[in-house]
Amino acid sequence: MNKVIVKYLDGRMLKGITSNFSPANDTFHLNVAQTNEEEEKLGMRQIDTSEGLKAIFFVKDFAGRPGYKEREEFLPQDDSRGKKITIEFDDGEKLNALSMGYSRKRKGFFVNPVDPESNNDRIYIISDTVKDIEAIP
């Protein structure tokens, strides 16, 4: 069981639990516990990764860490945790992250947050929603 926050390019967001997400599949089931839209329904639903989905954040806690200022800049010690990249999404959002390997030829790829104390354990990025990826030396 994984706690996830599913984010769409149009700003919609769903928080819930999944036990069957796989990068090899186009769909997975999400037991929605919270949304940012009043018209969204709670409960079990099938999520299609090809329908406007931007990223899936695997989180420690749905509430995050109120008051904690997450580090977004790269530090030299991050070199041992993966390749430093900046991802720019089609909606203009940018995300600094660490990757052990990514390919825009795949449907998606995993990255890790820059801050090891982040509420995010890892993030699955949908390749079709990425405008640019910059490798940071």
Query: Do residues 6 and 16 lie in contact, with contact meaning Cβ atoms separated by under 8 Å?
Result: yes
- State the pLDDT at residue 46: 96
The reply to whether the predicted model has a pTM over 0.85 is yes
Tens of pLDDT, residue by residue over 80-120, are 889 999 999 999 999 999 998 888 789 999 999 999 999 99
Element housing 29 (H / E): strand 27-35
Give residue-wise pLDDT tens across range 6-18.
999 999 999 999 9
pLDDT band at residue 3, thresholds of 50, 70 and 90?
Answer: very high
**What integer pLDDT is reported at residue 102 of this predicted model?**
82
pLDDT given for residue 97 in this prediction:
97
How confident is the model over 28-58, as pLDDT tens digits?
999 999 888 877 788 999 999 999 999 999 9
Give the β-pairing of 108-113 and 94-99: antiparallel
